[in-house]
Structure 1
Amino acid sequence: MKSHQPKHLKTQLFSCGFFRQCGQTVLSPTATGTTPPPLPPPQLPLTHTHTSTTCESSTSSSSNSATSQSFTQWRFSLPTPTPPPTPNTPPPATMTHHLPFLSTIPNLQELFHVSDLQLTTDLNAALHLLERSLVPNPPQEQPPCPPNLMRALIHNLRESKPATKILFALCLSEANRRVAVEAGAVGAVVESAPELEGPPAERALAALELMCTVPEGAEEVRAHALAVPVMVTVMGKTGARGKEYAIGVLAVIYGGDMADQQTAPPEEVARAVELALQGECSARGKRKGGQLLKTLQQLSNPHSHDTS
């Protein structure tokens, strides 16, 4: 009887048998030596079933990627299919902007550590994190700022808007005033002050005056050749607070033991201070200015009080 069967029927039986064997291997990998199930009715189009396509693709080296992917997902029960990213697809926003949008860190030790680590990836992110966490309510007792972070801060006084805010907030702590002086903040403020305007200039001058309260800072500002001319210049263009801070720095310069090393004559500085006091100036600035004028007069006429 088998020899009289039509050729197309043999082909159908061979195909069905191959399909049955493939289905057992894929769908039941542990079932070995079992009896094949009955053949499906001949009227069903085997060539159009999805399972047949899957089996043929699993045994053929020319299977398309979509079918192979769907099999792999079914095999390992992946809950959510994730298509592979295309070359032009940008990375997720949460990965790209995670560091710049960190929440505030109230613990200053941790804040300085995280900001110091961010310097290697994104300086602006580190500065903005310091601005959000430190500037609103800076305490006077602070842990030491990492030197690398302080140096990066003072190197960006001109370019970065929050830099002067952060420097002033750090200098409220005596420990960080010393860190700032060691990192070169005195010279950086003196040399960048003429290019700063408005609140950034006032904050930079305030930080400089605070640095002058430690012996190392006062010595640095007295030794800087541009300190006196820069302070005289900024007194003529800043607001009331800026004048107050510049007068305070001049008082430190001319009130120390290194006053005789200054190239600017005391009488010329006195005239600049008098002009500054005639304009807009705070009450504290006027008091500092009056004391500075007395010091400058004594330096101009060292024997004026020897009347006896």
Structure 2
Amino acid sequence: MKTHPKLKSTPRPLFSCGFFGHCTQSVVSPTTPHNPSLHLPPPPPSAPESLPPHPPPPASDPTLPPSSSSSSSSSSSTSQSFTQWRFPIQKPPFSHDLPPESVSETEQTPEPASEPNPPIPPPPPMSSSNMAELFHVAELQLTSGVDDARISTLQLLEKKLVPNPLPEGGGSAACPTAVMVGVVGCLNDASMAKAATKVLLALCLAEENRRVAVEAGAVAEVVETLAGLEGTAVERALAALELLCTLPEGAAELRSHALSVPVLVEMVAKTAGRGKECAISVLAAMFGCGEGEPPPPVVAQAVLLALQGECSARGRRKGTQLLKALEENGRLDLTEEGS
């Protein structure tokens, strides 16, 4: 029997259905460009799944690269939206992107302003033993005759005495006569006069030191050097002179000095503020008590002019007391002097 070879049959397609055959020939994937001529039939309706609400698409991030084409495929858009729902793209939060209430309290609350430094309290007053030692060193330096040593000693005394003047009844801490003589002797030196007036005023705040200053010739020295002083040195010298006039011997020595009246009248007309006030007070101490020779008419004239101009309340009170005392003692006729 003769056998015939089998004819090979043509291979059949995997899917005989025309619909699936068409699908296998044009596979749509997110990576292939979309063909506008291809129209896929809509999928059959299915039961809706209970899925959470779709979150809104994230805002465009300037840090992400732009899309290559505005006409991406529908399957790619669906895939991307599904992926974003499963794994939402989020930006790391920054403080400027968060609402104000979500910013930490440390960023919202400003740092408290640093409190100003408390005022430094004045140094405690020196003890009597320390002052005695200081005066002993000052006596040696002021009597040495060396200008540099005298200047440094005045600066040391100013540093110690000006913030903390000696109290009343200093006892063993009272200023020695040799130290007072050295301080008074520095008034006629232009390079030391400013510091010397500070130290002299600080020493004269204690009553027992005023007596030492009068005995050391401070009244005459201040009167003779007032014209050469400037600025606050004039005010301090007049204030020290006013303290010296609280002692009867101080006022008597001032009345007996030939230059006291012309110098003080010049200070009343020349100075202002505290200087004018102290000059009027010194004149009142000299002539307000009714002792000694009557004052020359120029004293009342200077006081009247000062009261008519700018003058402190204390200066006006002292000047009025002086004019009233002169009138009561018969030493002044206000009508004639004021005309």
TM-score range, shorter chain: 0.5 to 0.7
1:240 offset after TM fit, Å?
1.2
TM-score (norm. length: structure 2): 0.54
> How many aligned positions are there?
198
1:303 and 1:200 map into 2 onto residues whose CA distance is 35
Note if contact 2:244-2:250 (Cα within 8 Å) is conserved in structure 1.
Answer: yes
- 1:115 matched to which residue of 2? 138
Note if contact 1:198-1:238 (Cα within 8 Å) is conserved in structure 2.
Answer: no
1:279 and 1:297 map into 2 onto residues whose CA distance is 21
CA change 1:234–1:117 in 2 (3 A) is same
1:297 offset after TM fit, Å?
2.7
Alignment of 1:1-308 (within 5 A): 106=126, 107-119=130-142, 120=144, 122-141=149-168, 142=170, 143-158=173-188, 159=190, 160=192, 161-260=194-293, 262=294, 264-265=295-296, 267-300=297-330
1:292 and 1:105 map into 2 onto residues whose CA distance is 38
2:263 and 2:214 map into 1 onto residues whose CA distance is 18
Higher Rg of the two aligned structures: 2
TM-score (norm. length: structure 1): 0.60
Note if contact 1:193-1:204 (Cα within 8 Å) is conserved in structure 2.
Answer: yes
Give the aligned residue type for 2:254. V
- Unpaired runs of at least 5, structure 1: 1-103
1:110 offset after TM fit, Å?
2.0
1:258 offset after TM fit, Å?
3.5
1:301 and 1:175 map into 2 onto residues whose CA distance is 33
1:268 and 1:233 map into 2 onto residues whose CA distance is 10
Give the aligned residue type for 2:156. L
2:317 and 2:166 map into 1 onto residues whose CA distance is 27
CA change 1:269–1:303 in 2 (3 A) is closer
Please, what is the CA RMSD of the aligned residues? 2.3
1:175 and 1:111 map into 2 onto residues whose CA distance is 18
- Unpaired runs of at least 5, structure 2: 1-123, 335-339
Note if contact 2:268-2:306 (Cα within 8 Å) is conserved in structure 1.
Answer: yes
The structure with more helix, counted as a fraction of residues: 1
> Identity, % of aligned pairs?
56
Note if contact 1:153-1:167 (Cα within 8 Å) is conserved in structure 2.
Answer: yes
